[in-house]
Amino acid sequence: MRNASIAYGPKNPVIVNNVSFDVDQGEAFILIGRSGCGKSTLLRSLAGFQELRSGQILLDGKKATAPGPDRMMVFQNFDQLLPWRTAVQNVEFAIKKAGSKGAGSVRQRALDALQMVHLSAAADKFPSQLSGGMQQRVAIARALAVRPRIVLMDEPFGALDAMTRASLQAEVLRLQREMNMTLVFVTHSIEEAVYLGDRIGLMTPQGVFEGIYTNAFQGRVDSPEGTEFAGELRTKLEASAV
Ligand SMILES: Nc1ncnc2c1ncn2[C@@H]1O[C@H](COP(=O)(O)OP(=O)(O)OP(=O)(O)O)[C@@H](O)[C@H]1O
């Protein structure tokens, strides 16, 4: 993102204010900040859903404006799947829609993606027959099946209970590492940010980065050092709100 400013309509104030940052191939970049500071707005722009007022988004050096299968999004809400299609059909639909090519049949690739999130047994179930956590796994499988250049996640576990959330965080960390996934992930939770992130961008209510912090505690937020780092981030976050 290069000098990106975002506003909802020409007369409204900017929400994201002249922000620049890079995300490297294979990096997990986490956005944290107070409610309403513009995290989702920024993410939606990366996905191509929200126009920039000024600045640019570059993907592999090329301007990215409209949405495309190179940037797949996972949302917080459980209703992001098509309710009249089964889990595997939801994934198949995304692969076909993206025109994504790969070895094996579309069905096989969809099943492989479900297997990655340990959901093979639920392939033929409809979303209404799945728990919230299972539906989020399908949404993740759907995003990965398309083989995007970058996966965008907007508080995907925000509506889950603590245990399901912890297990899905572990899944995402595993997949991110195994697949060398490039990830931009929005969360309210500092612990989630430290667990998942290679770097953590802390946004202020003014729509800028207070700082972008390298995280040495990915996967081990529970260590004494990880806890201390999370505490430092919390202090900065609280200070940023003033
Ligand atoms: N469609 C919209 N039209 C007008 N204003 C909007 C729209 N969506 C969001 N906003 C405003 O933009 C600001 C940033 O919202 P955004 O959802 O990006 O924040 P956030 O940091 O993701 O918040 P949260 O953590 O609560 O999800 C808020 O003031 C919000 O009211």
- For β-strands 2-7 and 14-19, DSSP reports them as antiparallel
Predicted TM-score (pTM) above 0.90? yes
Report DSSP state, residue 8. S
Work out the pLDDT band at 33, boundaries 50, 70, 90.
very high
Q: Is 187 in the pocket of ligand 1 (CB under 6 A)?
A: no
Q: Is 39 in the pocket of ligand 1 (CB under 6 A)?
A: yes
How close is the Cα of 38 to the center of ligand 1, in Å?
6
Work out the pLDDT band at 237, boundaries 50, 70, 90.
very high
Q: Is 38 in the pocket of ligand 1 (CB under 6 A)?
A: yes
Mean pLDDT over 213-237 rounds to 94
- At 49, which helix (H) or strand (E)? none
> ipTM higher than 0.95?
yes
Work out the pLDDT band at 99, boundaries 50, 70, 90.
confident
pLDDT computed for residue 242 by the predictor: 60
How close is the Cα of 36 to the center of ligand 1, in Å?
5
Mean pLDDT over 95-121 rounds to 89
pLDDT at 130 over 90: yes
pLDDT at 9 over 70: yes
pLDDT computed for residue 160 by the predictor: 87
Task: Report the mean per-residue pLDDT for the chain.
Answer: 93
Class (C level, CATH) for 2-70+149-240: alpha beta
pLDDT above 70: percentage of residues in the chain:
99
Mean pLDDT over 120-136 rounds to 95
The CA distances from residue 51 to 44, 73, 123, in Å, are 9, 16, 36
HEC assignment per residue over 80-147: HCCCCCCHHHHHHHHHHHHCCCCCCCHHHHHHHHHHHCCCHHHCCCCHHHCCHHHHHHHHHHHHHHCC
pLDDT single digits (tens) 10-19: 889 999 999 9
pLDDT single digits (tens) 134-163: 999 999 999 999 989 999 999 999 888 898
pLDDT computed for residue 207 by the predictor: 93
> Domain ranges in the chain?
2-70+149-240, 81-147
How close is the Cα of 37 to the center of ligand 1, in Å?
7
The single-letter code of the amino acid at 57 is I
Q: Is 37 in the pocket of ligand 1 (CB under 6 A)?
A: yes
